[in-house]
């Protein structure tokens, strides 16, 4: 017992050494003495409320019908207005002070700016629902294992990731800082699907299975595109300036035109790479150059070699190519 007390006496010194790193370590890996950042919990609550509006009856609230859904949605919209106003305002204030760290009494009315963006975003919800209805339809049309749209909405990680992406992309287009990326990284952690909110994705989009899919910030995807698990739509390289710093704002990720299918574990890289409409990219293909429309890209069939006693029983030789 006495030894336990002596060990615990070391904790105040440990605390002081930890706090000393807040002063001594270069780089901003703390946020102390500044205005509040967007709240991670509040942002995820916003996403869940939005999904409740987009897919009524599938989420938290049961017993909804056309007689009571107006009140339910109105209550959610009212709460979303307040939460979005606060969180977008915080994000805008933080972005404005990214280099100078202004005090919270900055003259700019960031809450009013946040409210304007919140209203503009909420005004897009009818259009977002129509887009996502087409994504549900794409999943049902594209997967024979699906028994109906309900199964897609309840069970498919691809739809979950695309839903959060479409929400986040609308905020990204309104120049709301931080929050879109917080949303898509939360979806990434849940689904294994990494879609940057800056990517542009057309109608009737379907990600089947989904785990390991990566879609980069400047990627452009047309209508009626289907991806399978493990697909990477990434950057080939990062241009740098004379000081070796990454040059931002350039198109780094590929363009996928309408009605393209990309199978599992294919990798397509580069901002100048265009996959032409109605093309098919096979599994495990690595592409860094463009493909004309109506093209099928496949790897040559690999040679598989089998060895073992069971193989030897099937054929005189101990191994053979398949």
pLDDT digits (tens, 9 = 90+) for 78-127: 999 999 999 999 999 998 876 555 556 666 799 999 999 999 999 999 99
Q: Which residue has the tokens 């599994």?
A: 283
Name, in order, each residue with C-beta under 8 angstroms of 134's C-beta and a sequence gap of 6 or more: 203, 204
**Confidence category of residue 6, pLDDT binned at 50, 70, 90:** confident
pLDDT at position 180 is 98
Rounded mean pLDDT, 281-300: 96
Name, in order, each residue with C-beta under 8 angstroms of 311's C-beta and a sequence gap of 6 or more: 318, 319, 320
pLDDT at position 107 is 65
Question: In this model, does residue 170 exceed pLDDT 90?
Answer: yes
Helix H or strand E encompassing 233: strand 232-234
Closest Cα partner for 88 from 168, 153, 8?
168
**Confidence category of residue 320, pLDDT binned at 50, 70, 90:** very low
pLDDT in tens, 229-267: 999 999 987 777 777 777 777 899 999 999 999 999 999
Neighbour tally for 238: CB within 10 Å: 11
Residue 227, strand partner residues: 207, 262
Give the domain 199-322 fold.
UDP N-Acetylglucosamine Acyltransferase; domain 1 (2.160.10)
CB 37 within 8 A of CB 82: no
Report the distance separating Cα 73 and Cα 47, nearest Å: 14
**Confidence category of residue 294, pLDDT binned at 50, 70, 90:** very high
CA 71 to chain CA centroid, nearest Å? 31
Domain parsing of the chain, residue ranges: 29-194, 199-322
- pTM for the whole structure: 0.89
Tell me the residue length of the chain.
322
Q: In CATH terms, are 29-194 and 199-322 the same topology? A: no
Report the distance separating Cα 280 and Cα 295, nearest Å: 6
Q: Residue 301 is encoded by which pair of tokens?
A: 């069939």
Q: Which residue has the higher pLDDT, 286 or 300?
A: 286
Please tell me the class of the 29-194 domain.
mainly alpha
**pLDDT, the chain, mean:** 90
């Amino acid at each position: 017992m006495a030894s336990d007390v002596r060990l615990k006496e070391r904790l105040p010194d440990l605390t002081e050494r930890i706090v000393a790193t807040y002063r001594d370590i270069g780089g901003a890996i703390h946020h102390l003495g500044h205005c509040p950042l967007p709240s991670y919990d509040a942002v995820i609550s916003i996403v869940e409320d939005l999904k409740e509006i987009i897919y009524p009856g599938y989420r938290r609230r049961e017993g909804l019908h056309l007689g009571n859904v107006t009140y339910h949605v109105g209550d959610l919209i009212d709460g979303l207005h307040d939460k979005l106003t606060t969180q977008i305002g915080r994000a805008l204030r933080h972005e404005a002070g990214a280099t100078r760290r202004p005090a919270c009494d900055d003259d700019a009315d960031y809450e009013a700016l946040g409210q304007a963006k919140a209203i503009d975003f909420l005004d897009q919800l009818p259009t977002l629902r129509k887009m996502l209805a087409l994504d549900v339809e794409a999943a049902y049309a594209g997967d024979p294992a699906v028994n109906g749209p309900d199964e897609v909405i309840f069970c498919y990680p691809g739809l979950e990731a695309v839903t959060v992406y479409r929400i986040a992309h609308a905020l990204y287009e309104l120049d709301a800082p931080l929050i879109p990326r917080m949303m898509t990284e939360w979806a990434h952690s849940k689904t294994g699907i990494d879609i940057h909110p800056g990517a542009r994705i057309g109608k009737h989009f379907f990600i089947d299975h989904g785990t390991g899919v990566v879609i980069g910030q400047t990627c452009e995807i047309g209508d009626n595109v289907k991806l399978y698990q493990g697909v990477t739509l990434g950057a080939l390289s990062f241009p740098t300036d004379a000081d070796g710093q990454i040059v931002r704002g350039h198109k780094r990720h590929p363009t996928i035109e309408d009605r393209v299918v990309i199978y599992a574990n294919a990798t397509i890289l580069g901002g100048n790479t265009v996959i032409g409409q109605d093309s098919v990219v096979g599994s495990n293909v690595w592409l860094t150059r463009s493909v004309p429309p109506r093209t099928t890209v496949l790897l040559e069939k690999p040679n598989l070699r089998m060895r073992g006693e069971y193989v030897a029983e099937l054929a005189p030789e101990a191994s053979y190519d398949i």
